[in-house]
């Protein structure tokens, strides 16, 4: 229940809810990320949360992908976490920024080697003639980087969504759900309850 969120800021309760979600959700760090084209057409897809600190929510991707192009041209986004096992949802909205190179390098170094090779081989969101074409590219980059560290491709990095609002939603009987909204105000946060 939202009465269990006494904090005046949203990051501590978000981390607590995420930790609780890991107990019943195999992909608790999965979220739906929304972006929009320069013309304002919305699009959404599932991504994984790869980092979280008091600056915001971080995910990594190919900078030449559709989502990256949309975020680079219209740097505002929304995220939605749904944890069905807990009957909870968290919505996050705000501008996005590309993470620093050293931050992207550090995260890339933690990825499995095959995922690192895949980041080089995939022209994400571009037309692919066959699965064989992708597998050939993977083999070519595996030969290019036969051993040792695989460097981060220049077209691969991360985005940080810097939240201006974070809403916690808890399902309750008869659709009388609990909603608690945090809105950034200067260096702090304003809390308010919302009707369901």
Please list the active-site residues: 175
- Residue entry with tokens 């949802």: 89
d(CA 181, CA 194): 7
Structure tokens that stand for 109 in this block: 């170094």
* Closest listed residue to residue 165, CA positions, set 150, 180, 153: 180
d(CA 56, CA 33): 14
Measured from the Cβ of residue 166, the count of other Cβ atoms closer than 10 Å reads 23
Structure tokens that stand for 167 in this block: 């809403």
């Amino acid at each position: 229940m939202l009465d269990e969120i006494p904090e005046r800021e949203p990051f501590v309760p978000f981390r607590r809810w995420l930790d609780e979600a890991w107990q019943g959700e195999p992909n608790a760090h999965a979220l739906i990320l929304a972006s929009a084209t320069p013309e304002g057409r919305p699009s959404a897809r599932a991504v994984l949360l790869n980092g979280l600190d008091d600056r915001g929510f971080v995910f990594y991707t190919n900078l030449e992908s559709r989502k990256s192009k949309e975020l680079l041209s219209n740097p505002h986004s929304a995220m939605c976490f749904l944890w069905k096992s807990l009957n909870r949802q968290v919505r996050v909205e705000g501008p996005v920024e590309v993470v620093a190179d050293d931050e992207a390098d550090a995260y890339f170094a933690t990825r499995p080697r095959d995922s690192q090779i895949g980041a080089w081989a995939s022209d994400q969101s571009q037309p692919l003639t066959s699965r064989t074409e992708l597998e050939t590219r993977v083999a070519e980059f595996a030969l290019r980087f036969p051993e040792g560290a695989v460097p981060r491709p220049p077209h691969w990095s991360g985005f940080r969504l810097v939240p201006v609002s974070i809403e916690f939603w808890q399902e309750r009987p008869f659709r009388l759900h609990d909603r608690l909204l945090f809105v950034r105000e200067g260096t702090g946060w304003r809390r308010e309850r919302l009707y369901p």
